[in-house]
């Protein structure tokens, strides 16, 4: 079992936890009521707050928990409390619940032996030391962060951004009050650019009347670069994606997207986006991975400008290194890495469970195999659920490969059953793919027939092959392209 409650638990206790780990309260549950006294002596009752119309955020943490400390110091909950708490607009109440029964007040104050620091420093909202609340809320890991609407229904919002907490509290709890209130919630356009970026944004109707029109502009350095007059029909609490336009970019470009038409609440009319310049790269892409103690949580994909996944990886073993090579066509690509748990490859943030961090290094090679430049370099020192990088593949290496096909890749690689073959041909041609073992025997032969020019996706079943290294030869236009594939069992 992974990262949960801090202790030097015996095996019996660890097994007991594993049996109850699925007990986390599901979204849509009714929040258990509690009455508790904070460390300053003030008594609080959850139901009374809800009856008064408050939305309540519970940050259930432990003083020894590194990820809890990192999120605590992000300032997000402090900002929410300042803007929407008792000294703000009076809509959102925030509590920190110290949920480990073994910790002490001294740990909360940073003077104990089991703490990351002083949790009271700069914390304006109440701190309650009560492991019973953690038990009532079925906590199986720290931090667990719930948002509770005035009707008592909760959602696990987790280590959300300021905007995500705002969404959960106002949209999720349906607190609309103004008639005409369009709200820009999040940027949905290109996060990286090879010279031009498509700008789009998600717009919610936070008003009580149907939203039918809005003018939205995208500006860089105060200069309007794109604009659109949107029309449509969006009901209260519903949303739509608005395409604002295409802008030219250079280097790191900071874009401000805003609603310019009059409405009843201009405080939520603007979002900002940072668009990064893609790294220059060659057609030979290397993906070097070292996993932490939970390798199966990692997955990644390489996506071209048309949205096609040309390479990907998943199902990795723990504490294992991988070195993969993929040949692609010249294009603008996005490399996306995902972690199913949300802690990236930062294994050492769970010192009771893991002693290693992982890493991801994506780079492209010159003809001589040397590094032509990094695309993505992650050292495992921070958490992520999803991260990205971009590559402007503009230099061809391995001329014989490009002559045969604009691109040829196989994923996942390593593979243990069915793999996807992605290739691009410049002209209509017959395409065959042969799999050769290390003694030169042809063990698989696939004839894809005559294909038209463009991108194609096929599959090959490796499940009947023994574990080992194989050469996959694609023949197109009378020329052969080879990719090395590792089969695992």
Specify the pLDDT at position 275: 95
DSSP 134-178: HHHTT--SS-EEEEE-TTSBEEE--S--HHHHHIIIIITTT----
Cβ proximity of 192 and 334 under 8 Å: yes
Report the largest interatomic distance among the alpha carbons of the chain, rounded to a whole angstrom. Answer: 82
pLDDT one-digit tens code per residue, 229-276:
999 999 988 889 999 999 999 889 999 999 999 999 898 899 999 999
Domain spanning 11-171: CATH 3.40.30.10: yes
Who's near 373: CB < 8 A, 6+ residues apart? 279, 280, 281, 363, 364
- Does this chain's domain 182-276 share its CATH topology with 278-397? yes
Q: Which fold has domain 278-397?
A: Immunoglobulin-like (2.60.40)
pLDDT one-digit tens code per residue, 68-103:
998 999 999 999 999 899 998 899 999 999 999 999
pLDDT one-digit tens code per residue, 338-393:
999 888 999 998 888 899 999 999 999 998 889 999 999 999 999 888 899 999 99
Q: Is the peptide bond before 414 cis (omega within 30 degrees of 0)?
A: yes
For residue 289, pLDDT beyond 70: yes
pLDDT one-digit tens code per residue, 308-331:
888 888 889 999 998 888 878 889
Specify the pLDDT at position 406: 52
Q: Which fold has domain 410-489?
A: Immunoglobulin-like (2.60.40)
Distance CA 233, CA 14 (A): 53
Distance CA 225, CA 244 (A): 10
Distance CA 285, CA 300 (A): 14
CA 69 → CA 62, 66, 108, 110, 423, distances in Å? 9, 5, 11, 12, 47
Q: Which CATH class is domain 182-276?
A: mainly beta
| Strand pairing report for 454-461 and 418-425 | antiparallel
**pLDDT band with cut points at 50, 70 and 90 for residue 22:** very low
**pLDDT band with cut points at 50, 70 and 90 for residue 17:** very low
Name the percent of the chain lying above pLDDT 70. Answer: 93
For residue 2, pLDDT beyond 60: no
Specify the pLDDT at position 110: 96
Q: Please indicate whether residue 482 or residue 362 has the higher confidence score (pLDDT).
A: 362
For residue 227, pLDDT beyond 80: yes
| Strand pairing report for 92-98 and 55-61 | parallel
Average pLDDT, the chain: 88
Phi, psi torsion values for 211, nearest 5 degrees:
-90, 125
Please say whether the dihedral angle defined by the alpha carbons of residues 126, 129, 134 and 139, taken in this order, is positive or negative: positive
Distance CA 465, CA 468 (A): 8
Q: Domain limits of the chain?
A: 11-171, 182-276, 278-397, 410-489
Distance CA 86, CA 279 (A): 47
Who's near 134: CB < 8 A, 6+ residues apart? 60, 97, 99, 100, 144
pLDDT one-digit tens code per residue, 436-462:
887 678 899 999 999 888 888 899 999
DSSP-derived secondary structure letter, 111: -
DSSP 186-212: EE-S-SEESSEEEEEEEEEE-SSS-EE
Specify the pLDDT at position 89: 84
Specify the pLDDT at position 423: 84
For residue 421, pLDDT beyond 70: yes
């Amino acid at each position: 079992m992974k990262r949960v409650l801090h202790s030097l638990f015996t095996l019996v206790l660890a097994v007991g936890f594993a049996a109850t780990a699925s007990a986390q309260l599901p979204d849509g549950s009714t929040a258990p009521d509690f009455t508790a006294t904070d460390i300053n002596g003030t008594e609080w009752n959850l139901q009374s707050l809800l009856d008064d119309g408050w939305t309540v955020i519970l940050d259930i943490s432990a003083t020894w928990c590194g990820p809890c400390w990192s999120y605590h110091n992000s300032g997000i909950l402090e900002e929410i409390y300042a803007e929407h708490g008792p000294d703000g607009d009076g809509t959102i109440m925030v509590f920190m619940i110290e949920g480990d029964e073994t910790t002490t007040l001294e740990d909360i104050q940073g003077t104990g032996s089991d703490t990351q620091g002083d949790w009271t420093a700069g914390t304006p909202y109440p701190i309650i030391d009560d492991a019973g609340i953690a038990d009532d809320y079925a906590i199986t890991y720290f931090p667990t962060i719930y948002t509770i609407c005035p009707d008592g229904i909760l959602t696990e919002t987790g280590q959300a951004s300021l905007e995500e907490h705002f969404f959960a509290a106002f949209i999720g709890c349906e607190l609309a009050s103004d008639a005409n209130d369009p709200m820009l919630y999040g940027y949905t356009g290109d996060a990286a650019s090879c010279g031009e970026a498509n700008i789009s944004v998600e717009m919610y109707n936070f008003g009580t009347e149907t939203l039918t029109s809005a003018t939205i502009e995208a500006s860089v350095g105060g200069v309007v670069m794109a604009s659109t007059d949107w029309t449509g029909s969006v009901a209260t609490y519903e949303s739509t994606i608005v395409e604002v336009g295409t802008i030219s970019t250079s280097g790191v470009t900071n874009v401000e997207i805003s609603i310019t038409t009059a409405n009843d609440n201009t405080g939520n009319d603007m979002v900002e986006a940072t668009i990064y310049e893609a790294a220059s790269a060659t057609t030979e892409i290397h993906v070097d991975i070292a996993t932490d103690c939970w390798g199966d949580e990692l997955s990644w994909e390489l996506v071209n400008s048309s949205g096609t996944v040309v390479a990907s990886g998943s199902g990795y073993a723990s504490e294992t290194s991988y070195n993969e090579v993929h040949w692609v066509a010249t294009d603008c690509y996005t490399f996306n890495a995902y972690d199913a748990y949300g802690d990236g490859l930062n294994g050492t943030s769970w010192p009771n469970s893991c002693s290693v961090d992982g890493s991801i290094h994506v780079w492209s090679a010159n003809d001589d195999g040397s590094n032509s430049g990094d695309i993505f370099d992650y050292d495992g020192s921070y958490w992520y659920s999803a991260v990205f990088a971009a590559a402007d593949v503009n230099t061809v290496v391995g001329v014989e490969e490009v002559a045969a096909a604009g691109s040829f890749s196989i994923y996942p690689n390593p593979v243990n059953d069915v793999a996807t073959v992605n290739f691009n041909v410049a002209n209509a041609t017959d395409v065959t793919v042969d799999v050769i073992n290390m003694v030169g025997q042809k063990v698989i032969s696939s004839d894809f027939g005559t294909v038209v020019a463009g991108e194609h996706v096929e599959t090959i079943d490796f499940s009947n092959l023994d574990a080992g290294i194989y050469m996959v030869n694609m023949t197109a236009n009378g020329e052969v392209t080879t990719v090395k594939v590792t089969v695992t069992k």
